[in-house]
Amino acid sequence: MRIVLLTGPGGDAQGWGDMKVTESVRQAAEALGHPTRIAYVADEAEFFRLVDKPDFDIVWSALYHLTPNEAFIGRNAAGTWVADELDRRKVPYVGSDSRTMKAMIDKFQTHEILAAAGVAVPSHVLLHSSDGASAVTYPAFVKPICESRSVGISDESVVHDEGELRRRIAYIEREFDQPALVEEFLPGDEYTALVLGNGKTRECLPGLVTVEDKHYRNYRILRSDLRGVGLTRISLAGARAEECRKLADDAAEAMGCLDHIRIDMRVDRAGKLRIIEVNGIPGLKPHKSWAPQIFTLYHGSPLGEEEDYLRLIEAIVNAAGKRYGLP
Ligand SMILES: Nc1ncnc2c1ncn2[C@@H]1O[C@H](COP(=O)(O)OP(=O)(O)OP(=O)(O)O)[C@@H](O)[C@H]1O
Ligand SMILES: [Mg+2]
């Protein structure tokens, strides 16, 4: 199948990574026999030109929505959402449908959907600076509702009283132009699960995420300065593997996810795993992002990591192609 890899100014903040990562995905898809090109769309006009007259079979997008913003995702509720426009034109695409994409990028909405389905999430509340905060118990964890790569996350995300909480909400509104998601602080270990494929063939591969203790300051949280610099390690989930796998599977089912996602979790005070987010467009930096690392942990080939990366891309593309009957 002829693939277009769609990216733009927001491709790194929103999607699988920068242009170098996009080129790695392209080369892998080509090596698998799919004619694949990159479409970098700087704005709406370029995007519409691309999708109004498709000369490809399927789109794989690093963008949820179109934005000139390179630094962070932003809310962009009234903007142009890629999956909406592709649905409107009946153009096939890799990944979850528009409704699920929008739910995954909004961590509050994700929590609400999962909680309604009985899937464990932290207790949480959405707060603007003008809202009352009587529902919050401390310590609490405060973050933007729709960012990734730990943007807006530091030790100051952990708050202990209403004063600290209000300062942090004000910071999030000011820097990221969005309300704050306030969650119970989850003090335990962190896990992530790579989820590939659909229906009966869906596979959930759990991993434990660690950083050497010397890199933490006050809290064992993945601050923004610890991300993307080679400090996080993924290993097998050990005694938590089955709990983690089942939680990821239940969450993927409740959200209606397709093809390829990654689900982050942490252990609460009582020792129970809870989902902190479902990533709709996981990072795909060869050998470095968590998805390729987990894939190698479970499906490592004697031929090495390059071969593993090809097989990961193959699993994603095949899952999507199968849904549309594309070879
Ligand atoms: N409720 C919580 N309690 C403790 N730590 C948390 C909590 N929520 C998030 N964290 C920490 O903050 C980090 C970033 O949070 P989260 O995964 O929600 O955001 P993200 O920036 O979207 O990540 P990604 O790049 O994976 O999309 C987590 O990896 C975890 O270490
Ligand atoms: Mg995360």
Tell me the pTM.
0.97
- Give CA–CA dist 107/93, Å, rounded: 23
In the predicted model, is pLDDT for residue 11 greater than 90? yes
Q: Shortest CA distance to 145 belongs to which of 176, 109, 175, 107?
A: 107
How does the average pLDDT of the chain come out, rounded? 97
Taking the centre of ligand 1 as the mean of its atom positions, its distance from the CA of residue 273, in whole angstroms, is 14
- Rounded distance between C-alpha atoms, residue 108 and residue 41, angstroms: 29
The two counts, helices (H) then strands (E), for the chain are 10, 12
Q: What is the mean pLDDT of residues 297-315?
A: 98
CA of 16 to the centre of ligand 2 (A): 13
Would you state the structure tokens that stand for residue 206, as one six-digit string? Answer: 């759990």
Tens of pLDDT along 104-120? 999 999 999 999 999 99
Judged against a pLDDT cut of 90, whether residue 188 lies above it is answered with yes
Q: Does residue 266 register a pLDDT over 90?
A: yes
Structure tokens at 211: 């950083």
Atom of ligand 1 nearest to the CA of 283: 25
Residues with CB under 5 A from ligand 2 (ion): 264
Mean pLDDT, rounded, for 44-60:
97
Atom of ligand 1 nearest to the CA of 152: 21
Determine the Cα–Cα distance for residues 15 and 36; give it in Å rounded to an integer: 18
In the chain, the amino acid numbered 324 is: Y
Give the mean pLDDT of 172-188: 96
- Residue with the smallest CA separation from ligand 1 atom 4 is 186
Instruction: Report the percent of the chain where pLDDT is more than 70.
Output: 100
Mean pLDDT of 133-144: 96
Beta-bridge partner residues of 141? 158, 183
- Which ligand places an atom closest to the C-alpha of 151? 1
- Band (pLDDT 50/70/90 cuts) for residue 56 is very high
- 3-state secondary structure string, 244-308? HHHHHHHHHHHHCCCCEEEEEEEECCCCCEEEEEEECCCCCCCCCCHHHHHHHHHHCCCCCHHHH
Test site for ligand 1: of 142, 221, 232, most ligand atoms within 8 A of the Cβ = 221
Strand, helix or coil for residue 40 = strand
pLDDT in tens, 224-257: 999 988 899 999 999 999 999 999 999 999 999 9
What mean pLDDT do residues 250-269 have? 98
Residue 277's pLDDT band (cuts 50, 70, 90) = very high
- From the CA of 226, the nearest ligand is 1
Q: Is the Cβ–Cβ distance between 202 and 263 less than 8 Å? A: no
Q: How far is CA 285 from CA 21, 89, 292, 293, 324, in A?
A: 5, 30, 7, 10, 26
Reading the block at residue 223, the tokens are 């601050």
Q: Which pLDDT band holds residue 77 (cuts at 50, 70, 90)?
A: confident
Question: How do residues 202-222 score in pLDDT, each as one tens digit?
Answer: 999 999 999 999 999 999 999
Residue range 315-325: mean pLDDT, rounded: 98
DSSP secondary structure letter of residue 15: S
Tell me, what's the pLDDT at 327?
86
Q: Which residues line ligand 1 (CB under 6 A)?
A: 122, 141, 143, 147-151, 153, 183, 185-186, 190, 221-222, 264, 266, 276-277, 279
For residue 243, the CA-to-ligand 2 centroid distance in Å is 18
- Cα–Cα dist 250/228, whole Å: 28
For atom 27 of ligand 1, the residue with the nearest CA is: 148
Spatial distance between the Cα atoms of 82 and 65, rounded to a whole number of angstroms: 5
Closest ligand 1 atom to 122 CA: 1
> Cα–Cα distance between 124 and 127 in angstroms, integer?
10
Alpha helices in 177-236 (DSSP H): none
